[in-house]
Amino acid sequence: MLAQATITIDLEAIEHNARAVVSALGQRDMDVVGVTKVTCGDPYVARAMLAGGVGALAESRLENLAGLRAAGIEAPLWLLRATTPGLAEKTVALADVSLESDVDAVRALNAAAAQAGVRHSIVVMVDIGDLREGLMPDAVPEFLREVVDLDHIDVVGVGASLTCYGAIVPDARNLGVLTEVARAAEHYLGRPLWISAGSSTSIAPVLAGSLPQGAHDLRIGEAIVLGVDPATREPIAGLDLRDDAITLSVPVIECAIKPSKPLGTSAQDAFGGVPRFEDRGMRRRALCAIGRQDAAPDDLTPLDPRVQVLGASSDHLVLDVDEMGEPPHSGDALEFRPSYSGTLRLFTSPYVLRRYLGSGGVPLG
């Protein structure tokens, strides 16, 4: 019997995926920064990535970096989302490296680092087409002129993000622009720089040899945690990745035969939508204890192909289970594979328990 919604994290699967990615990219002289943000900086996931060989960990939220530090994680930590001047002190205290594109923020980091008596490293982010964060390529020289003489800031690299917002995939053209910007920055600074060439969507073209030479690292999250290419949500050719690291189990709270189409005058639902229903007659449906506050219904794929997701309200998931030979009872668990978006929201939700499978399938918590 299952009491409440629970995600099971198979740490062996995550370690396996990390090792596969690290090995493949290592053959091309590239490092891997493991990104734990989809799991909200879960320290068990972080340790599994480190056991698989990643050299550093990355997060978008300072709260999650603080959690990793509190859990005793000693690996280098990157802040993936550019800081604000008001968070410079916390950024310097928690992150070894941050990705930056604003001069005022970097000046604030410099002041915070000076006060703490440390140096802080930054990767200069360049927008090469996805239109999320980053300087336009022609703005990089002026940015470097503004920050090069800051005495507690080390410009260690140039980087870019692709696919996350504009859905632009990495290719020879856009990463070629990043490489050209990096080479010009190296010439200006008089020393070599890292080229941080994106995330999980860069793996496939790197392995295919279709990207420019010279990238030093990729920031990898989804390929390690979920085992797929974010650009396609399909397996990555040439990599043996597991896609079963995250499983959602949800308890049934009601199961009954009801009409398949609501009765009465239709209006907006709780989220402002106007749902449409197909009249399939009387069907057996199950109501489960999870809802849109935890994950969107479209982000949950039932492991039993006889189960169909119909929709959800804030706290209830509605399923068609008419094809199941034996209908589920209250407290029975139904299992789902969450998408990236679903995984993100499930780990963020305080209402979803976490269960860990470690070496040999031993639960860790």
Is 37 an active-site residue?
A: yes
Task: Supply angle C-alpha 289, 291, 294, rounded to 5.
Answer: 110
Residue showing tokens 């918590």? 365
Report d(CA 196, CA 33) in Å as an integer.
10
Report d(CA 136, CA 88) in Å as an integer.
23
Close Cβ partners of 212 (under 8 Å, ≥ 6 residues apart)? 172, 175, 176, 179
Name the E strands within 208-316: 217-220, 246-259, 282-288, 300-302, 308-312
Q: Which of 60, 51, 242, 70 is nearest to 161 (CA)?
A: 60
Residue type, 11: L
Q: Specify the DSSP element, H or E, that contains 211.
A: none
Residue showing tokens 């996931």? 45
The token pair that represents 241 in the structure block: 């990745």
How many angstroms separate the most distant Cα atoms in the chain? Answer: 74
Spell 264-275 as b/e; 16+ CB within 10 A means b.
eeeeeeeeeeee
Report d(CA 84, CA 80) in Å as an integer.
12
Close Cβ partners of 199 (under 8 Å, ≥ 6 residues apart)? 35, 161, 162, 163, 164, 218, 219, 220, 221, 222, 230
Catalytic residues: 37
